[in-house]
Amino acid sequence: MSQGSKIVTSDFSFYYDSTPALRNINLGIRPKEIFTAFGPARSGKTTFLKSLNRLTDLIPGANHTGSILLDGMNVYDPGLDLTHLRRRIGMVFDLPTPLPMSIFDNVAYGLRLNKMISKRRLGEAVEKALRSAVLWEEVKDRLHTSALRLSGGQQQRLCIARILALEPEVLLLDEPCSGLDPISTASIEETLIQLKEDYTIILVPHSVQQASRVADWAGFFLNGEIVEVGPAYQIFTKPADQRTEDYVTGRFG
Amino acid sequence: MINRTRYLTQSVAKILIWIGALSTIAMMILILFQILREGLPVLHLGFFLDSPKNMGREGGIFTTIVGTVALTAVAIIVGAPLGVGTAIFLREYTRESKTSRVIRFGTDCLAGVPSIIFGLFGFVFFVIRLNMGWSILSGGLTLAAMILPTVISTAEESIKTIPSSYREVSYSLGGTRWQTITRVVLPSALPGIFTGILLSIGRSIGETAAIILTAGSSLVMPTSLFSPSRTMSVHFYILAREGISMKMAYGTGAALILLVLMVNIIAQWLINRYIRHRT
Amino acid sequence: MAMKEKIIEKILLLTAFSSIFILGLITFFIFKEGLPLILKIGIKAFLLGEKWIPSKGLFGVFPMIVSSFWVTFGALLLGIPLGLACAIFLSELIPPSVGLLLRPAIQLLAAIPSVIYGFWGLIVLVPLIQNHFGGPGLSILAGSLVLGFMILPTIITISEDSLKALPPTYKAGALALGATHWQTIWRVLIPAARSGVVASVILGMGRAIGETMAMIMILGNAVKMPTSFLDSARTLTTNIGIEMGYASGDHRQALFATGVVLFFIIMALNTLAISLSRRRVH
């Protein structure tokens, strides 16, 4: 299953001090598909996402065993350039998190960090990213006003645009619609389906329904372990494991 | 009956507190009024732009304004980076630990050290040991040490209020720690840091005891960082205490009050403007 | 890139130790200059000696210690009730919008240079005391009144902060039990914020003991044991402030030794206040 996978995790376990948060995760995530990691609260989904781009490094006392390979390269390699890794793997958080600056500056933030970009190319890159995130038409006349004034759904699409500007390979989305109304949610989901043409997407959905609407491949997380993983239509219609079926049909969760 | 006493006690207590609070404000206004009433008529352009003559009996206070600005500038240029750096380290580089507790204890203690002790220290260390003599540099460095706790605590407070999600976003976009600090954390913390610096400017303008021991009280126009100098506060103190000229003392006192008022009002105005701008 | 980050972290670590470093330097140099004289004439003779005649080599600071505490005590008599009243006023009695106007006024109170207060004491209070109570006017009473006013910002801001930091349930609970607003303030809120209030008073005390220039202007500076509030007096700080300008040799060392005594008192008060406000946090 690791053949042709973008990301491969082998026996990956993760601990906060000595409390395990993830146990023996073995996954292969294929390129240009939407993989959803779903399951009840506190089952390790967010930790899983954050250990892919090593945002878990910010948490004191975090440690792990096993490995995660991105295109065959171990992301926990001590010699690895963390900055470069995080540019390849972009992340959108559960609540919209625009930085307190203008719309333009938000999208340009990541690009400016490595400085080597001309003013003209920066403008083009920002426009392209906003178009990809289906936000351009709504904000093109007010690029230099504060991003904090956008609506929740617009803010979340701005966060997606901010990542797309870096032209990453993988997108991590942690319940990106949890604070949004149904219409904004629908627009984000449409955006995601357009985006998988070019990106590998790992989504923690905020509901089973959302997972079944957008996923190509799905993994069910429970208590830090993966219970079952497979093609989405199979997981959501005829799961092999009883616990998956109970969760998908709404008997717990 | 019991109820009536309870409410009577309450009314009396509340009235007393109103009296206490209002009389505090009234006293402050009275103090300012009594000095400004005598001092404001002395203030005219020449008073600010002429150098003092005859020990300060005649002329203006120009050299003391220059001295005040120079000392304050040295204090802020040295003290502000140290203080902001400390705050960044405490908030962005360490968790609550033994190190951070030691640093905080040191800062709190430094905040309580009286200015005359800073003066003694500045005199024996900068003036004598480092051979800087009574000078703007000695005085400015002593002031820098004095304002450090204010800068640290105000900067720390404002860094503390910045949501951690900002940092996570910056890291997830490939920002390093230092990039995150300079591009996200510090810009958002700027109003708080600026308040701290303005408060420190106010303290530097008003300081007397430490400066008289480290910068001296020369009325000659300073020409370099190693020149001795007299600040407005020191000038005011000497005029009043040695009874040189009450008229000039009132004038200098009024100028001091106006300066401090101005610094405070600018601080408030900038903060409000910044807050409006951000939301 | 990683190299640059490492260097920046090291620089910031060094910066962070600057305040400790300065505190260390201050302690070292004050003691280095002051201790030899204390040891030379004896701790007891220095601390308990009542005569300060530098020309004869007599250095006793007992009257100054007593005067320092006397002036401070007087300042607290005025500062505690007024400061607490203002703190309660700001946190409980007035609408927050009015507080927004009053708070800058109290900040301004802290920002006014101490020489201004001293000058006002000299031109207003001193003649007033002289005319109404007799004596020289330059007196502990004048000093206490001015100092009491000067320590208000310290007492008000820290007390108000600790009153504000109380969980709102305290107030709601007391009111729900039928206590009047005042009973709630006096019997629930103030006791609950006790350690913060006490810390504010101790810090105010530290400020009062440490004040120099304003006191030189209004205390009269006579070296003698004070016997009444109308006596003129010389405190530890004013002793240094007045004589430092011309002292040399043993005399200068004796002034640093006075600084050592002051330093001890201040550090004791600081440590006490810090441990009290730590307790408030936990």
CATH of the domain at C91: 1.10.3720.10
* C-alpha B1, offset from chain centre: 54
CB contacts of B176 in chain A (<8 Å) are: 83, 113
Instruction: For chain B, say whether A52 makes contact (Cβ under 8 Å).
Output: no
Domain span holding position C74: 63-281
3-state secondary structure at position A118: coil
Between CA B274 and CA C209 the distance in angstroms is: 38
Residues B22-76 have pLDDT tens digits of 888 888 889 999 999 999 999 988 889 888 888 888 888 999 999 999 999 999 9
- Total residue length of chain A: 253
Angle at C19 between CA C15 and CA C20, to 5 degrees: 105
| HEC profile of A144-188 | CCEHHHCCHHHHHHHHHHHHHCCCCCEEEEECCCCCCCHHHHHHH
Asked whether residue C252 is assigned to any structural domain, the reply reads yes
Angle at A186 between CA A184 and CA A191, to 5 degrees: 95
* C-alpha C31, offset from chain centre: 21
Torsion of CA C118, C123, C124, C126, to 10 degrees: 80
| HEC profile of B243-271 | CCCHHHHHHHHHHHHHHHHHHHHHHHHHH
Q: Which residues contact C86 (CB under 8 A, 6 or more apart)?
A: B20, B21, B24, C106, C152, C156, C160
Q: What is the predicted pLDDT for the residue at C281?
A: 47
Domains of chain A: 7-99+169-248 (3.40.50.300)
Asked whether residue C17 is assigned to any structural domain, the reply reads no
* C-alpha C148, offset from chain centre: 10
Q: Which helix (H) or strand (E) holds B188?
A: helix B186-206
Cβ atoms < 10 Å from Cβ of B225: 14
- Band (pLDDT 50/70/90 cuts) for residue B278 is low
Instruction: For chain A, say whether B10 makes contact (Cβ under 8 Å).
Output: no
Give pLDDT tens digits along chain C (282 positions): 678 889 999 999 999 999 999 999 999 999 999 999 999 999 999 999 999 999 898 999 999 999 999 999 999 999 999 999 999 998 888 877 777 777 778 888 888 999 999 999 999 999 999 999 988 889 999 999 999 999 999 999 899 989 988 888 888 888 888 888 888 888 899 999 988 899 999 999 999 999 999 999 999 988 889 998 989 999 999 999 999 988 888 999 999 999 999 999 999 999 998 888 776 544
| B46-278: CATH topology | MetI-like fold (1.10.3720)
Strands A34-38 and A217-222: parallel
Between CA A108 and CA A161 the distance in angstroms is: 10
Nearest 5°: phi and psi at C151?
A: -90, -5
pLDDT score of B171 more than 60: yes
Residues B121-138 have pLDDT tens digits of 999 999 999 999 999 999
| HEC profile of C199-257 | HHHHHHHHHHHHCCHHHHHHCECCCCCCCCCCCCECCHHHHHHHHCCCCCCHHHHHHHH
Interface subset of B 70-129, CB within 8 angstroms of A: 95
Between CA B153 and CA B175 the distance in angstroms is: 27
Between CA A185 and CA A200 the distance in angstroms is: 20
Q: Which residues contact B69 (CB under 8 A, 6 or more apart)?
A: none
The whole-number average pLDDT for the span A115-142 is: 88
Do residues C202 and C276 touch, judged by C-beta distance below 8 A?
yes
- DSSP state, C60? -
Q: Where are the beta strands (DSSP E) in chain A?
A: 7-16, 19-29, 34-38, 62-70, 73-74, 89-92, 170-174, 200-204, 217-222, 225-231
Interface subset of B 212-271, CB within 8 angstroms of C: 212-213, 233, 236-237, 240-241, 249, 253, 256-257, 260-261, 263-264, 268
Instruction: For chain A, say whether B182 makes contact (Cβ under 8 Å).
Output: no
Between CA B141 and CA A215 the distance in angstroms is: 64
Q: What is the predicted pLDDT for the residue at B277?
A: 57
Instruction: For chain B, say whether C16 makes contact (Cβ under 8 Å).
Output: yes
Q: Is the dihedral of CA C173, C178, C181, C186 positive or negative?
A: negative
A110 vs B167, B174, B176: nearest CB: B174
- For chain C, the domain total comes to 1
CB contacts of B279 in chain A (<8 Å) are: 146, 148
3-state secondary structure at position A220: strand
Do residues B52 and B61 touch, judged by C-beta distance below 8 A?
yes
Strands A200-204 and A217-222: unpaired
Contact B173 A148 (CB under 8 A): no
